[in-house]
Amino acid sequence: MLTCSRRPPAGSDPLRLAGVLAVHARPPKLRWMNFKVCPHCLVNGRRGTLEGLNELRTVISRSDGVNFHFALGDRPIAYPAQRASGKTEMMSAGFWYVHEASGGSTETVVLILSRPPSGGVSLLRHLETVADKLFEKLRESSRLPCLYEFVGQHLHQVH
């Protein structure tokens, strides 16, 4: 589980943090990518280390630095996992996110990846594209649907 504790970072200046929040009264246009120390958590008075990230050595995460962050929770797995008729060409991946406007609790989004690359660098790039799409969705709304499908370059909500 992705958690950020509520302890302020050592040496943080509350006046400086308040100034950063005032500057970002409108949605920030900045995007932080693939961090292990979260700028959003630091600004909101939490320790910024993202705990419990995935087994991949590469961190796939995004934040606007003030309102939210999200990160890939674990490596993608075959979807559906119990398929009896053999391997499927689909995978699923889970992202955890925290958005201040929805109370700062950890939420989950599951992505069904239709026809993803088979692995390695291509799969990581595919997940980076998914992360960029989720970033745009979280800039528009504080809550995301629980399930999306990613086909080609398009993210679709699954009803």
User: pTM of the prediction?
Assistant: 0.75
Kindly state whether residue 5 falls inside one of the protein's structural domains.
Answer: no
Phi, psi angle pair for 120, to nearest 5°: 65, -145
Kindly state whether residue 1 falls inside one of the protein's structural domains.
Answer: no
Domain ranges, residue 59: 14-157
Kindly state whether residue 64 falls inside one of the protein's structural domains.
Answer: yes
Please check whether residue 92 is in contact with residue 136, taking contact to mean a CB–CB distance below 8 angstroms.
Answer: no
Indicate the pLDDT class of residue 46, thresholds 50, 70 and 90: confident
Kindly state whether residue 84 falls inside one of the protein's structural domains.
Answer: yes
Kindly state whether residue 32 falls inside one of the protein's structural domains.
Answer: yes
Kindly state whether residue 74 falls inside one of the protein's structural domains.
Answer: yes
Q: Minimal CA–CA distance to 43: which of 15, 71, 73, 62?
A: 15
Choice among 22-26, 28-32, 116-120 with the minimum mean pLDDT = 22-26
Kindly state whether residue 127 falls inside one of the protein's structural domains.
Answer: yes
Taking only the tens place, the pLDDT of each residue in 28-43 is: 567 889 988 899 999 9
- Spatial separation of the C-alpha atoms in residues 65 and 42, rounded to whole Å: 9
Kindly state whether residue 2 falls inside one of the protein's structural domains.
Answer: no
- Per the structure, the count of domains in the chain is 1
**Mean pLDDT across the stretch 79-96?**
80
Average per-residue pLDDT in the chain?
Answer: 80
